[in-house]
């Protein structure tokens, strides 16, 4: 049996998040985006909603919600602004889920709980100046020194780099083994001192109301107890983190399609040409119809992935497909929204220029469009077979 009905709790939380964002954050978005400054107190505000640890069990400080709820919330976050969803993608999808999936009980209590309760903000450091899609090319190293590892290296294009308290990062403990020599570590800013340097990137094309930056480690001592998984398991840990992050990107991009659709419908009924509202022109209708199709298809794809996640079943293919489709569709929807707005869309007077800029990043991060295509083709051709990771993301217990 397939059930398309949302529960009353799922609908209620989505409604609560939507109206909270509309009142508490939306008024600042356009100004911050235009100025290129992060939204003030965004994480603290989101934490008051109790969503900082949405899918994690209450015993780890979370809300114990299911993955459908996480998807609906990400949709609402990106409907308001992509920077909010990006923050939750790295905090929950990448750092939080990584520790939840791979951490020991002690690590979940010590490292996940403060993230899930909203006390601390998490981030994820995988990408380096010379290693993006090709993770195995990373140069950061970690050498064992008694009860610690000593990290050296740098990360770039890290969301929430200057705001986060806790970083899940990757470095090579055995560089000669390439991707099989990567290990995962949790860095706590408070303990790292001057050995951790973080900075912001300016003049970004999109996500301008969010913090994107970099990290550098110089003889940074991380306790051995902050290594996640075994030595050499970092590549697999990173891939499972990306799977969870991609789910939040897919559901968020679905919200951006809806934002583009709503703005377009409103404008198409206000603007008149040739004696009629432009919504009466069939070529404008075609663009709106495409947004409607994109929204429904993107939503169904991410909800299927959520359903698999709730059951604790493998969802690498389905989540990647949802991410690829939703991010391309959001970019097309935002582009069409700008077209419908004509020259007015080309300014910051309307939100659609922001939508278009923000839609572009998610086609690049958490696996580029090309990487998603390769994955799907390899599944179809039988070249790619997923073996279960040593640690699965636990199913939703209800």
Ligand X SMILES: Cc1cc2nc3c(=O)[nH]c(=O)nc-3n(C[C@H](O)[C@H](O)[C@H](O)COP(=O)(O)OP(=O)(O)OC[C@H]3O[C@@H](n4cnc5c(N)ncnc54)[C@H](O)[C@@H]3O)c2cc1C
Kindly list the catalytic residues.
Answer: 366
Least separation in angstroms between residue 95's CB and ligand X is 9
Nearest to residue 291, comparing CAs of 350, 354, 339? 339
For the chain, helix (H) and strand (E) counts, in that order, are 14, 10
Task: State CA 385 to chain mean position distance.
Answer: 25
CB closest to ligand X, residue no: 132
Do the beta carbons of residue 74 and residue 252 sit within 8 Å?
yes
The Cα 249–Cα 75 span in angstroms is: 9
Pairing between strand 141-145 and 148-159? antiparallel
Cβ-based nearer residue to ligand X, 155 or 317? 155
The Cα 158–Cα 89 span in angstroms is: 12
CA distances from 192 to 183, 186, 219 (A): 18, 11, 10
Give residue for tokens 């891939």. 239
Which residues lie closer than 8 Å to 229 by C-beta, 6 or more apart? 102, 183, 184, 236, 237, 390, 391
Least separation in angstroms between residue 160's CB and ligand X is 7
Cβ-based nearer residue to ligand X, 79 or 170? 170
Cβ-based nearer residue to ligand X, 81 or 366? 366
Least separation in angstroms between residue 225's CB and ligand X is 23
Least separation in angstroms between residue 268's CB and ligand X is 30
The Cα 187–Cα 222 span in angstroms is: 7
Least separation in angstroms between residue 181's CB and ligand X is 18
The Cα 398–Cα 394 span in angstroms is: 12
Interface ranges with ligand X (CB under 6 A): 90, 124-127, 132-134, 157-159, 207, 212, 361, 364-366, 368, 370-371, 374
């Amino acid at each position: 049996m397939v059930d398309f009905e949302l529960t009353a709790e799922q609908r209620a939380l989505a409604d609560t998040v939507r109206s909270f964002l509309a009142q508490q954050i939306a008024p600042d978005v356009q100004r911050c985006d235009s100025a290129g400054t992060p939204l003030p107190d965004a994480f603290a505000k989101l934490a008051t909603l109790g969503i900082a640890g949405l899918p994690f069990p209450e015993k780890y400080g979370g809300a114990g919600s299911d993955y459908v709820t996480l998807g609906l919330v990400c949709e609402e976050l990106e409907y308001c602004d992509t920077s909010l969803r990006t923050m939750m993608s790295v905090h929950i999808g990448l750092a939080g889920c990584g520790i939840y999936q791979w951490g020991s009980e002690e690590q979940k209590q010590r490292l996940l709980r403060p993230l899930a309760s909203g006390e601390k903000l998490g981030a994820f450091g995988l990408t380096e100046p010379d290693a993006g899609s090709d993770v195995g090319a990373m140069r950061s190293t970690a050498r064992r020194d008694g009860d610690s590892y000593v990290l050296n290296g740098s990360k770039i294009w890290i969301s929430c780099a200057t705001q986060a308290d806790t970083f899940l990062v990757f470095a090579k403990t055995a560089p000669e083994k390439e991707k099989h020599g990567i290990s995962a570590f949790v860095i706590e800013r408070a303990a790292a001192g001057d050995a951790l340097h973080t900075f912001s990137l300016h003049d970004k094309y999109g996500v301008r109301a969010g913090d994107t930056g970099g990290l550098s480690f110089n003889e940074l001592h991380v306790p051995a107890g902050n290594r996640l998984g075994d030595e050499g398991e970092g590549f697999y840990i990173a891939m499972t983190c990306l799977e969870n992050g991609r789910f939040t990107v897919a559901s968020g991009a679905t919200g951006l399609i809806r934002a583009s659709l709503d703005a377009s419908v409103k404008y198409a009924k206000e603007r008149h040409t040739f004696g009629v509202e432009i919504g009466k022109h069939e070529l404008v209708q075609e663009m709106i119809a495409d947004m409607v199709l994109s929204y429904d298809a993107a939503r169904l794809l991410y909800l299927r992935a959520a359903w698999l996640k709730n059951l604790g079943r493998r969802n690498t293919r389905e989540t990647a497909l949802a991410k690829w489709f939703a991010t391309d569709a959001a970019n097309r929807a935002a582009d069409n929204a700008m077209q419908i707005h004509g020259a007015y869309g080309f300014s910051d007077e309307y939100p659609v220029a922001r939508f278009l800029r923000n839609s572009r990043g998610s086609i690049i991060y958490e696996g580029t469009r090309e990487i998603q295509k390769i994955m799907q083709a390899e599944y179809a051709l039988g070249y790619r077979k997923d073996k279960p990771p040593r640690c699965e993301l636990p199913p939703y217990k209800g």
